[in-house]
Amino acid sequence: MAFSVSFAGRAQSLEQSDIRSVTRRVEAVDGINLGQGVCDLPTPPPIKARAQQAIAEDRSIYSHHAGIEPLRRAVLAKGQAENDLPATSPDEVVVGVGSTGCFVSAAFTLLEEGDEVVLFEPFYGYHRNILELTGATIRTVPLGGPDAPFDPGAVEDVVTPDTKVIVVNTPANPSGKVWTRAELESLLELMTAHDLMAVTDEIYEYMLYDGAEHVSLASLPGAYERTITLSGFSKAYNVTGWRLGYGVAPAPIAEKMGLMNDLLYICAPRPLQHAALAAFEELDESYVSELQADYAERRRLLCETLEDIGFDVPWPDGAYYVLADFGPLADRRAGFEDDAAACQTLVEEAGIGSVTGRSFYEDPADGRTQLRFCFAKEIPVLEQACAQLREAFG
Ligand SMILES: Cc1ncc(COP(=O)(O)O)c(C=O)c1O
């Protein structure tokens, strides 16, 4: 008799995400994938050089579980200078396996069965699925796109005595919403009233448009003590595969989170921790301003194209995605019956990969007229993608 594996409940519900299967379909037609949030831009040379040096120098053994001291000090200084965090010691910094690894450590440090956690919709799927693994109950709250203001009443509606944590992603994937200071202040008021904590994901903190300002929740008076602030190197320095991120939180929280990080991963990749130091020591402000100008151009190219071919496009204020509505296009063409059909039509007719709107909502119907496109591509590749979209649907 054939052996039949009995999977744990938490593994049974895991399946290949839509994003991967679209990737395969796009590859099959030799198309351009604007689906997966993979940025294929080159890594800055000083960071690459330091990685090579660190490997040549055999910096290969485990590091301290919360990261090498110089990197924790550099992250601390950055958190103070750029994010206005009131952190004062490297003991408040945990370097982990990507911001995702830090999110896992934070979630497992704070949440367990019986707890409730608030997640805004549309959400980043990893947040949702990692939170589910903790056993906590997820309460989704609609947040809308870049121009939809945060409504504290919508959170009040789901808060119960078991609510413990709110997850805030700013700038947000997939919506491109950037939380304003006033919105974060009203969120903090609510957190204080209900004694809640926050885990923030600020991985897109440098991708900002039209003067949008990135504000870290933990910089607001009274917020730091109840917030874990997460960010990382993946997106800002084009090292998504290196798996390096970090969290900043008051020392008692950072200590537990670091121990959780130790248990799950031991440490982040050692030589790459040394390499990441170059981001702070060798790249100056012009790096970020160039990055912002380049992304603004990419955003313009893609958003204008999508608008011209009939999408309703809420231009993102931050991050590098656009969650566009194909309703107007569906009115005049076949193949756009729902998000899955639209996604397949774009692959077949334009050779373009996107992500179905359903991936970002608890109820798939909420995303049925949306597709997400990622514009973290070299400009010539993006120009080619836009040309293909215009040719097929213009
Ligand atoms: C909101 C958000 N957080 C985190 C990540 C992953 O970050 P990291 O590579 O640091 O784990 C992504 C990647 O797409 C993301 O969109």
HSE-CB for 229 with a 13 A CA cutoff: 30
Query: Residue 233 CA: which ligand 1 atom is closest?
Result: 10
pLDDT recorded at residue 301: 98
pLDDT recorded at residue 20: 77
- What's phi and psi for 162, nearest 5 deg? -90, -5
Cα 332 to Cα 344, 351, 394: the distances in Å are 17, 20, 12
Of 383, 361, 381, 363, nearest in space to 372 by CA: 361
pLDDT recorded at residue 37: 66
d(CA 228, CA 247): 6
Helix (H, G, I), strand (E, B) or coil at 144: coil
Q: How many CB atoms lie within 10 A of CB 208?
A: 20
Atom 16 of ligand 1, nearest CA residue: 173
Of 385, 58, 78, 86, nearest in space to 220 by CA: 86
Choose which residue among 95, 175, 201 to substitute to test ligand 1 binding: the one with the highest number of ligand atoms within 8 A of its C-beta. 201
CA dihedral 46, 51, 54, 58 (to 10 degrees): -160
Determine whether the shortest distance from the Cβ of 234 to ligand 1 is under 6 A: yes
DSSP state of 343: H
Determine whether the shortest distance from the Cβ of 319 to ligand 1 is under 6 A: no
Query: Residue 321 CA: which ligand 1 atom is closest?
Result: 16
Total-model pTM: 0.97
CB 347 within 8 A of CB 29: yes
pLDDT recorded at residue 84: 98
Of 371, 332, 327, 380, nearest in space to 353 by CA: 371
Determine whether the shortest distance from the Cβ of 203 to ligand 1 is under 6 A: yes
**Distance from the CA of 316 to the center of ligand 1, in angstroms?**
17
Helix (H, G, I), strand (E, B) or coil at 121: strand
Determine whether the shortest distance from the Cβ of 100 to ligand 1 is under 6 A: yes
Determine whether the shortest distance from the Cβ of 174 to ligand 1 is under 6 A: no
Which residue carries 């301003």 as its tokens?
Answer: 289
Atom 14 of ligand 1, nearest CA residue: 37
Cα 379 to Cα 18, 262, 293, 383: the distances in Å are 26, 40, 12, 6
Q: Which amino acid is at 91?
A: D
pLDDT recorded at residue 32: 95
Of 109, 99, 98, 127, nearest in space to 263 by CA: 109
**Distance from the CA of 273 to the center of ligand 1, in angstroms?**
18
Determine whether the shortest distance from the Cβ of 98 to ligand 1 is under 6 A: yes
pLDDT digit of tens for each residue in the chain (394 aa)?
Answer: 789 999 999 998 888 777 778 888 999 999 999 997 677 789 999 999 999 999 999 999 999 999 999 999 999 999 999 999 999 999 999 999 999 999 999 999 999 999 999 999 999 999 999 999 999 999 999 998 898 999 999 999 999 999 999 999 999 999 999 999 999 999 999 999 999 999 999 999 999 999 999 999 999 999 999 999 999 999 999 999 999 999 999 999 999 999 999 999 999 999 999 999 999 999 988 999 999 999 999 999 999 999 999 999 999 999 999 999 999 999 889 999 999 999 999 999 999 999 999 999 999 999 999 999 999 999 999 999 999 999 999 8
Atom 1 of ligand 1, nearest CA residue: 173
Q: Which amino acid is at 168?
A: V
